[in-house]
């Protein structure tokens, strides 16, 4: 099982974080949020890193799942064991749909970016418009509706660690299968991949569906953990931008990149907190710098400079 040594290291290190936090609720919340963003970044790595599909609707996908889950739990008084899977399926279905339409219509990376960005706007307006279900800008209180374990800081942390590990295991298994070779080939050259017998459509849609399911699962559970689900929780600025920064910073198409990147982003977020509303400006500048000058990411950089064999 040497192949999965890094997974064990990640699991052990992250499992020890609460000890370092020393029971401080503030740091426990930061660490839990970092886990959510790690899971989201793992998902985005699969969509954008491996299959070059620029989904600019990560918040909207996670948010669709979250709203489906909370609204169904509240309005229909269903168990979260039923509504969380409904949310996950919604996100997976939407992600697969965007991917399928983009392959079918031959949308390039830019047009898929525009289509999914438009969906982000639609989602935001839909949440504001369907006030009777969503309670508009104010948001819905989800406290007490979901799993009791998600009301406690310590148990919540380990639940999200579990979600992250599930996401990582799914990701590792997919990449170790035929799909790993297929997505490497298709991200290099789609026509040559097709001519070699690879069903490019299937692998892109599969990657999008699996990744969107991960986005949705973390989103639905986050909605319960957060105690309130509102448009700002799942906005473009609160989800898509941090995840983009985390993935680019950590390193696309690497196993550890999303983990390291999201952890680094959590630290950056704390550092810029004193700037208040100007933090988005910092993120914008950071994103530009990353795209222009540091597209490789930390993991590939460490591999080169320190001659490490990081996965």
Partner 1 sequence: MSPGNEAILEAQALSKHFGGTAALKEVSFSAAAGEILGLIGPNGAGKTTLLNLLSGVLRPTSGKVLFRGRDLTGLKTHAVARMGIARTLQTPRSFPSMTVLENVAVGALFGHPHGRTDGAIKSLDLVGLGERRASPMSSLNLQERKMVELARALAMEPRVVLIDEAMSGLNPTEIEDSMRLIRRVRSQTGVTIIWVEHVVKAIMEVVERIIVLNFGQVIATGSPAEIARNDAVVEAYLGTKA
Q: Rule CB under 8 A: which residues touch partner 1?
A: 178, 181-182, 184-185, 187-189, 191-201
Whichever of 167 and 182 has its CB closer to partner 1, that residue is: 182
276 torsion bin: left (phi>0), alpha (psi -120 to 50), beta (else): left
Q: Coil, helix or strand for 140?
A: strand
CB 66 to partner 1: min, Å: 36
Of the candidates 308, 117, 171, 150, the residue with the CA atom closest to the CA atom of residue 229: 150
CB 175 to partner 1: min, Å: 14
Whichever of 72 and 203 has its CB closer to partner 1, that residue is: 203
Contacts of 107 (CB under 8 A, 6+ apart): 101, 115
CA distances from 232 to 4, 44, 137, 140, 311 (A): 37, 20, 8, 12, 34
Whichever of 184 and 304 has its CB closer to partner 1, that residue is: 184
CA distances from 137 to 133, 230, 294 (A): 12, 6, 36
CB 135 to partner 1: min, Å: 46
Whichever of 124 and 204 has its CB closer to partner 1, that residue is: 204
Of the candidates 203, 244, 69, 34, the residue with the CA atom closest to the CA atom of residue 142: 69
Whichever of 187 and 212 has its CB closer to partner 1, that residue is: 187
CB 216 to partner 1: min, Å: 29
| H-run or E-run covering 229 | strand 228-229
CB 261 to partner 1: min, Å: 21
């Amino acid at each position: 099982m040497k192949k999965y040594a890094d997974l064990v290291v990640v699991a052990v290190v992250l499992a020890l974080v609460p000890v370092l936090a020393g029971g401080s609720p503030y740091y426990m919340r930061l660490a839990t949020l970092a886990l959510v963003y790690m899971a989201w970044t793992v998902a985005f790595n699969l969509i954008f890193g491996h299959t070059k599909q620029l989904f600019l609707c990560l918040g909207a996908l996670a948010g669709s799942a979250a709203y489906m889950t909370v609204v169904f739990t509240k309005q229909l008084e269903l168990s979260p064991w039923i509504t969380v899977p409904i949310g996950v399926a919604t996100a997976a279905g939407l992600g697969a749909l965007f991917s399928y339409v983009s392959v079918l219509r031959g949308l390039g990376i830019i047009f898929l970016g525009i289509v999914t960005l438009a969906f982000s706007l639609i989602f935001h307006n839909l949440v504001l418009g369907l006030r009777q279900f969503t309670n508009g800008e104010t948001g819905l209180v989800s406290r007490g509706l979901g799993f009791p374990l998600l009301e406690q800081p310590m148990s919540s942390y380990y639940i999200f660690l579990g979600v992250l590990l599930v996401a990582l295991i799914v990701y590792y298994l997919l990449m170790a299968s035929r799909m790993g070779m297929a997505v490497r080939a298709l991200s290099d050259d789609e026509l040559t991949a097709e001519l070699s017998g690879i069903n490019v459509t299937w692998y892109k849609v599969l990657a999008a569906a699996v990744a969107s399911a991960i986005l949705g699962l973390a989103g639905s559970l986050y909605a319960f953990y957060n105690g309130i689900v509102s448009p700002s929780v799942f906005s473009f600025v609160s989800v898509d931008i941090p995840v983009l920064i985390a993935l680019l910073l950590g390193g696309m198409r690497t196993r550890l990149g999303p983990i390291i990147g999201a952890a680094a982003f959590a630290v950056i977020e704390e550092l810029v907190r004193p700037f208040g509303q100007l933090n988005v400006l910092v993120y914008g500048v950071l994103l530009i710098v990353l795209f222009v000058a540091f597209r490789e990411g930390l993991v590939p950089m460490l591999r080169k400079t320190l001659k490490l064999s990081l996965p």
